A and B are shown apart, each in its own frame.
Chain A
Amino acid sequence: MLKLHNLSKYYRTDEVETVALDNVNIEIESGEFVAIMGPSGCGKSTLLNIVGMLDSPSEGDYIFMGENVAGYPESKLSNIRKQNIGFIFQSFNLIDELTVEENIELALLYHNIPASERRERVAKVMDKVGIAHRAKHMPSQLSGGQQQRVAVARAVVGDQAMILADEPTGNLDSAHGQEVMEMLQSLNAEGTTIVMVTHSPAHADYARRTINLFDGHVVTEDLRAAV
């Protein structure tokens, strides 16, 4: 699916150069469920941003589905991103002014899909994550778990091949957290590649492989038998 080769990322201010990622080599196969762990500031989010094409590497190659996207301009990245990658955030990032339905539809809005088909697909995915009865509600009327389910629905409604989840359970209590993890697992079982950043070892256990980052380096990679 994707391959990071000797990839580095620096942040430069006037005087200080911070190395966020240092010579990282990672390969992720199609259909994998990978957890990325590590202490705060180790480069997890930077890595996820680069993998999600929200940010570009300073050095090295990023081969995504056989294409080296490392030097691509934003417009090209945006195109690849919207075709292939869905996002789930720790704080859900739903738009307060839009209903549940409209929030999910947002992921299809910029894909040249006719409105009738968009509605169909949104309805289907709402059923799948069990939020259909809340379709007309505003995000502020939902619980955290429900909001994250909307976010998951939004991430998958476009049939993206890969989902990037940045601490998807960080703002949820354990019951709701588990619910979301099970949802991700079942998506993975249907073939979606999932890359998830998490602090929780318990939730990392849902993944088949855990990559541990420390100070911008990959420290260990643990392979686990499927749960």
Chain B
Amino acid sequence: MIADPALLTMFDFQVLEGSLDNALSRPTNVILSRSLAQKYFGNTPAVGQTVFLTQGGDETFNVVAVVEDIPATSHLDFDLAVPMAPRYFVPTAPGRANGLENWGSLSFLTYIEFKQGVNVAAFAQQMPAFLDRHVPDTIREIVKIAPSELFRMQFIPLPDIHLESPASGTTRPSGDIESIYAFLGIAILIMAIAIINFINLSTAYASRRGKEVAVRKVVGAKKSDLMVQFLGEAGLMVVLALLLGLVLVEVTLPWYGTLTAKILQIDFANDPLLLMGLAGLAVVVGLGAGLYPAFVLSHFKPVVMLKSSSGSVEGNKGGLRWFLVVVQFAISIGLIAATAILYAQTRYAQTKELGFDKENVLVVMPNGDARFSQTSEQLMERLKRYPDVIDVTKSSAVPGGGGQANTTVRLSDAETSEPIPLRTVNVDFNFFETLKMPIVAGRSFSEEYSGDITVDFGENDRREQSNAIINVRAVRMLGFASAEDAIGKTILHSRNPVSALTIVGVVADAHFQSLRTEIDPDLYRIDRRNLIFPSLRVKAGRDTQVLAAIKNDWKELFPNAPLQTLYMDEGLDQLYAQDKLRGMMLGTFASLAVLVSCLGLLGLSSFTIEQRTKEIGLRKVMGASMPNIMRLLLWQFTKPVLIANVIAWPIVWYFMGEWLSGFAYRIDMDLLPFALAGVFALVIAWFTVGLHVLKTAKSSPINALRYE
């Protein structure tokens, strides 16, 4: 972490060694975390020792303090802190501002501690004017709009930073409040299924307890006494379930943490809010599950109960019960269908034609060293000689690997000409060949044309001139009639009108980013000043050999820096890691919902079939065959599942449609995932009740009819 000295006074750190006083005021000071100090110096004191950092120029730093590791629940995380200095923010090109002064590169978290009682909203309202006052005129000249329209300051209270921070900026992977709400909702749905089971089964089997209720009433129990008894029983069960649930949470939390790539901790002892929440949950679930059965049971009439030989009541034929079964299955079917759609979209993203060949491309990641761009030239020369390497190139950005930059261009230097935003990718020769991106008009870059290389006229001359290649999307954005029409045309950099670009080729559109976003209009140039990503196409199946060879060369060229490489296809897969994770979790939840629903159905089916024993016996005497009976019983359990489909489909259609609309490139939603979910639920339901049904259908009718 590169930090301002004020950080140490604004936040509390637990100092284990040394002192934080002025710890970040000398440029060669460094603060270590306990675990890093432990790693490098073991149990000997770290303060007074030195460490060697390659970033920002190899240099020796003095350890001045060791602090306790930052808790996993904090958004701020560092193992090593050094004072902020311009050398960490080297200019991307000669003559450009360094990162600390460059208004095009805003990558800091700035903390503001307000005095007590300051109205932050009012403060935030002053920020546009503040920007307009302080942003230098040079920026204004380039962008030609007010700074307040270009930049926006956003204030986030620290407690909210985990869940509501923008995608980047925090130092730990941030949570995403929408996912949390979605999964909370699903958890509630699953709990609803379980509560439904409890209500269904306890009222269904209430008949078994009819005699007990009657006897208790005869000896003087009031309705309220019985209510208390039955609610107490439900409550006890909920408390036991809660304890079991907490044990499960403790056991599965680390696994869940790896799954979600988050560090999870629950501190039961010191979190009164959590404990109160759990107690509240127990009460709500206990009442939700216990109230209705307690009410039904306590209202049994003793005379009826005692007279009836089986101690059961007929009465309500279970309309509510079947309604609840429908609800359960609607939830299950909905979750299955949602999972299927999510899976289909993720799969679509991974198999879609991207406009380039992502397989067998290896990217060497920059190591943060300022000289990387130059030294990597030597690496490139060596890579070209490997027999297993087909093509080698370098670029300022790679698909799935970041390095995005944007610029605006104009078609002429007339004031009326609108600036058109384009994404710029600086490349070397061989880029389109290495990634197998088809040229649709004109030509690719080639060393035969001297004009292909961006000519830099020196430090103080802002002229630049070169040939450029644009993609099909850019052809449209720039208003050319066709790709062929664009060839030979000249465009101007809007921030530097003396720099002219001649379009020599048009390349096919390619998805460099997630399918969530539209393809950018791209501008490719050969500009060797900023090519930080060497990438190479290797022969299929030879990647391990190439990797081993790179490792050797790397060690010679960069003895102090670790080698980081990225397979392009894996880098692209990473774009969908969140979606995959969601799919996995949704799948797990859907399975859980199905399982719990089936448990309920199993209990209910044995009950209802038992209730229909006499009828089934009679039908058999009348000549009904085994298939007749099976059809009759299965239909009873098929109906609620079919109705559940009717309820679940439109709801899932709506929500998954919303989710899919977040993708610029997406699958068309069709009925297949819905039909699959419906059929799956039906088959599962049949399997669940099948054993009972089969047993009943096969049984001899005498038993059913003999005892009245």
Contact = CB atoms under 8 A, between A and B. Distances in A.
Partners in one complex: yes
Interface of A: 45, 49, 52, 54-55, 74-75, 78-79, 81-82, 87, 89-91, 93, 95-97, 106-107, 109-111, 154
Contacts of A111: 623
Contact of A45 (B615, B618, B706): B706
B672 to A, nearest CB: 37
Given A45-B706, A107-B623, 16 more contacts: A52-B621, A54-B701, A55-B702, A79-B623, A81-B621, A82-B622, A87-B621, A89-B705, A95-B615, A95-B618, A106-B622, A109-B622, A110-B619, A110-B623, A110-B624, A154-B622
Contact of B622 (A79, A96, A97, A107): A107
A106 B625 contact: no
Contacts of A49: 702
A107 B701 CA distance: 15
B620 interface: yes
A82 B623 contact: yes
Interface string B668-708: 00000000000000000000000000000000111001101
B625 A110 contact: yes
B496 interface: no
- Chain A CB count within 10 A is highest, among B317, B622, B706, for B622
A52 B622 CA distance: 11
B622 A90 contact: no
Nearest to B628: A110
Nearest to A55: B702
B407 to A, nearest CB: 77
A55 B700 contact: yes
Main secondary structure of the interface of B (DSSP, over half): helix
B614 interface: yes
Nearest to A90: B708
Contacts of A75: 625-626
Interface residues of B, number: 20
The 6 closest A-B pairs by CB, nearest first: A82-B623, A110-B623, A91-B708, A95-B615, A110-B624, A54-B702
Contacts of B625: 75, 78, 110
Nearest to A85: B621
B618 A106 contact: yes
Contacts of B622: 82, 106-107, 109-110, 154
B269 to A, nearest CB: 57
Interface string B177-191: 000000000000000
A79 B622 CA distance: 10
28 contacts: A49-B702, A52-B621, A54-B621, A54-B701, A55-B702, A74-B700, A75-B626, A78-B620, A78-B623, A81-B621, A82-B622, A82-B623, A87-B621, A89-B705, A93-B614, A95-B614, A97-B317, A97-B615, A106-B618, A107-B622, A109-B622, A109-B624, A110-B619, A110-B622, A110-B623, A110-B624, A110-B625, A110-B628
Nearest to B623: A82
A55 B317 CA distance: 32
Contacts of B708: 90-91
A93 B317 CA distance: 18
A78 B706 CA distance: 18
B698 to A, nearest CB: 9
B697 to A, nearest CB: 11
Contacts of A79: 623
Interface in B613-668: 614-615, 618-626, 628
A196 to B, nearest CB: 16
Given A45-B706, A89-B705, A81 B623 contact: yes
A129 to B, nearest CB: 17
A81 B628 CA distance: 16
A111 B702 CA distance: 21
A93 B623 CA distance: 15
A81 B623 CA distance: 7
Nearest to B618: A93
A75 B620 CA distance: 10
Interface in B348-366: none
Nearest to B701: A54
B705 A93 contact: yes
Contacts of B619: 106, 109-110
Nearest to A106: B622
Interface in B285-329: 314, 317
A109 B622 CA distance: 8
B552 to A, nearest CB: 79
A139 to B, nearest CB: 12
Contacts of B317: 97
A56 to B, nearest CB: 10
A3 B639 CA distance: 47
Contacts of B623: 78-79, 81-82, 107, 110-111
Contacts of A74: 700
Contacts of B314: 96
